[in-house]
Chains A and B, each alone.
Chain A
């Protein structure tokens, strides 16, 4: 099932200076921790002068669409999908 969430969420992020890679590693949502296993896609876009980064990630059979607002560095959980699509 796919569900639009649109709520702030806690995210742990890792920056690896050797590989020049930035990636979210863990999400805390609904009092549960989700360790991120795979990043399907990372892309960015502008809305006016605000730059947003979108991370499409999976964790334990769940899909999360995360949005980072680079203006205030807040993370938003946009969408959650389970394995049934």
Chain B
């Protein structure tokens, strides 16, 4: 097994702890941050105190309130969380030159080629966080030979943990874990593994590469073989993503197409912006909107690439049919991404639209999303700023 040179830093109960840090009166209380305050709102983060009562991320607020009637419900303050994210990144960069932001609350540090004692580094990181971010914010730090084991290590002790998985203890740790404790193994995959005689991570480790390849019937079997042996297969240095998606659940359902326009537009901007960061053009878009009694969707494939959210919106909005039922959730997915090749469009109208939309995009980036928007969305609902889970870079 490789030396444990990878570290994962994870802010405990991120949004809720940050709120408790900002407002000392909330410390020691059951606090959740929810997408919105209504009964159907969804818990995005629960404080340690709320977690002790069993309240988890993803719960509906009315269920959480049944368990804890005094629950304090807050809505997300995205600027605050982004500030903490940037500040923590700065702290981590003072310890390690290679820091990857995995999500709003997770960072991956690669100490390859650096001879520091990582347990000591971990303790110093915690001290710096206390000093610079606040006494209430804690992190769980996992150290391992690869990102996968560092992630497992960070989950072993929460909150405020510091655990190392290395060649001396990994078998013992595998013995005490369930298959679903492994990041990337869901119930369905665990069932598939159990059918093949793999009942726990220790059995999983003992399977040969050939056996795993035949269980997964793909290269994923090889990846698992390497992951469990501490060989890095997940740190692909920000491998270019093949698709992006954005989803939004509406507090007040949209009752007609015009109502939905603003939300679709902002979701298009969001995916377009993420795609632009990796300098890719978009060839295909799919969308879905649905509620209790309605589900409408569509997709389109373009020969010529779309360059930003404005173009995506321009292409998909006319495709959306009129509807009368209540729409509660909207998803926009872009895929078939191609390396962007700048080429002037020979059709003047299209070229002008591109130039205009790129300028509008720049203005929106500076003055906030929604400063400039198409007239189509004038009468529609707007979505508040939100932070998506998963990769945010």
- Chain A positions within 8 Å of B, measured between CB atoms, are 38, 40-41, 43-45, 47-49, 54, 56, 58, 61-63, 65, 81-83, 85
Further pairs besides A62-B25, A65-B22, A85-B29: 19, Cβ < 8 Å: A40-B21, A40-B23, A40-B24, A40-B134, A41-B18, A41-B22, A41-B134, A43-B84, A45-B79, A45-B83, A48-B368, A54-B79, A54-B80, A58-B23, A58-B24, A58-B25, A81-B25, A85-B31, A85-B70
Q: Assuming A43-B79, A49-B366, is B25 touching A56 (CB within 8 A)?
A: no
Interface SS of B by simple majority: helix
A31 and B170 alpha carbons, distance in the complex (Å): 63
Q: Are A85 and B26 in contact (CB under 8 A)?
A: yes
Q: Which of A54, A61, A65, A85 has the most CB of B within 10 A?
A: A85
Closest-CB distance, B18 to chain A (whole angstroms): 8
Q: Closest chain A residue to B86 by CB distance? A: A43
Q: Closest chain A residue to B135 by CB distance? A: A40
A62 and B26 alpha carbons, distance in the complex (Å): 11
Closest-CB distance, B365 to chain A (whole angstroms): 10
- Chain B positions within 8 Å of A, measured between CB atoms, are 18, 21-26, 29, 31, 70, 72, 79-80, 82-84, 134, 366-368, 371
Task: Provide a sorted-by-A list of 9 A–B residue pairs whose CB atoms are within 8 angstroms.
Answer: A41-B80, A45-B82, A48-B367, A54-B80, A56-B22, A56-B23, A63-B24, A85-B25, A85-B26
CB neighbours of A38 from chain B (8 A): 24
Q: Are B80 and A43 in contact (CB under 8 A)?
A: yes
Closest-CB distance, A4 to chain B (whole angstroms): 11
Closest-CB distance, A19 to chain B (whole angstroms): 14
A-B complex: 3 closest residue pairs judged by Cβ atoms: A56-B22, A43-B83, A85-B72
CB neighbours of A44 from chain B (8 A): 83
Within 8 Å by CB of B366, from A48, A54, A61, A81, lies A48
CB neighbours of B18 from chain A (8 A): 41
Interface SS of A by simple majority: strand
Q: Are B83 and A61 in contact (CB under 8 A)?
A: no
CB neighbours of A41 from chain B (8 A): 18, 21-22, 80, 134
Q: Are B367 and A47 in contact (CB under 8 A)?
A: yes
A61 and B366 alpha carbons, distance in the complex (Å): 38
Q: Assuming A45-B83, A85-B29, A85-B72, is B22 touching A40 (CB within 8 A)?
A: yes
A45 and B21 alpha carbons, distance in the complex (Å): 18
Q: Assuming A40-B22, A81-B23, A85-B72, is B368 touching A47 (CB within 8 A)?
A: yes
CB neighbours of B134 from chain A (8 A): 40-41
